[in-house]
Amino acid sequence: MGQDSTRAFVTMKFLCLCLLLCFYYPAFCLGQTRTTPCARCVQWNRPQKPFRIWGNTFYVGPHGLSSILITSDHGHVLIDGALPESAKQIAANIQSLGFRIADVKLILNSHVHFDHAGGIAELQRMSGARVEASEWSAKVLSHGGVGKGDPQFAGGTPIPLVANVQRFRDGEQTRVGEIVITAHLTPGHTPGGTTWTWKSCEGAACRNMVYADSLAPISSDGFRFSSSSDYPHALPEFEKSFTFLETVPCDILITTHPEASSLWDRLQSRDKGLTPDPLVNLSACRELARQARASLRDRLAEEHVKGGHHSK
């Protein structure tokens, strides 16, 4: 075999190896540690010191994207993985609180956009945790990319593929150790959007915790919430989600983007020693629903006037 033939043979073997790695380990090709092209990503991914929200519930995400750790003596639950490049920061935040990423037994998600689900594949690899998602979201996680029917489908940033995603039903409870967490389908922002509820206690003081998915009517250019063949039930699904937030027991609200629930302002007030605890607000979920209704109403009026052209 000549030198050129040998070089070609080695190159072909390398390419075959890469294809095999892509097939069996999609993260190899999807680039788990890549930087996501996004104008706001640097700000979203700004480091944030982790802190206790209440009881066994902690904030472990970067400054602009929530990631929530719920702990127990027999394993932990993590909600949302932020960006692909956020995974190492989330794991380091968990460790700095005195917990181990290896003790995270369950990873959950609000919705499968790259800024909330992008880091899940890497966090699953680091922890060995199982991942659970709604039926629609699970299909997207299991294949990677962007889900058909997502209002942000056109031009959306793909997410890395996640292995062995389990499905849950609306209202289903999942347990890890002493943690009991309930899934509530709250679609609209995406068809598979999910809000999570559980109780956290400090001594005898137990709070109803709500991690609310986004209900912002944001889309790719040209998408119409009022008449989409790809997502024909968007409006009644939004209404279902609004109604849920208006009625769910809600002592402490956490949102996928922390500023949507004024988390930093409330935390600053708490750090000043104000009482009662500013993080506790029994009307916060109803206020979030009110704001979301108003945003959707404005969006539909815009679609009526402009014919549905809307920028992200």
Q: Where are the domains of the chain?
A: 44-306
Rounded to 5 degrees, φ, ψ at 40 are -100, 0
Chain centroid to Cα 253, Å, comes to 15
184: Cβ contacts below 8 Å, ≥ 6 apart: 170, 171, 194, 195, 196, 197, 244, 248
In angstroms, the CA 22 to CA 202 distance is 46
In angstroms, the CA 134 to CA 192 distance is 6
- Residue matched to tokens 């404005």: 298
Closest CA to 110 of 143, 140, 133, 135: 133
- Residue matched to tokens 């809600």: 250
> Can you give the pLDDT at residue 15?
44
> Can you give the pLDDT at residue 9?
46
137: Cβ contacts below 8 Å, ≥ 6 apart: 109, 111, 112, 117, 147, 190, 192, 193, 194
Question: Are residues 161 and 142 in contact, defined by beta-carbon separation less than 8 angstroms?
Answer: yes
Q: What does the pLDDT profile of the chain (312 residues) look like in tens digits?
A: 555 554 444 345 444 434 433 433 333 343 333 455 688 999 999 999 999 999 999 999 999 999 999 999 999 999 999 999 999 999 999 999 999 999 999 999 999 999 999 999 999 999 999 999 999 999 999 999 999 999 999 989 999 999 999 999 999 999 999 999 999 999 999 999 999 999 999 999 999 999 999 999 999 999 999 999 999 999 999 999 999 999 999 999 999 999 999 999 999 999 999 999 999 999 999 999 999 999 999 999 999 997 644 433
**Burial environment of residue 50 by CB neighbours within 10 A (0 to 12, 13 to 18, 19 or more):** buried
DSSP H stretches of helix in 160-283:
234-247, 263-271
CATH 3.60.15.10 fits 44-306, yes or no: yes
As beta bridge partners, residue 104 has 76
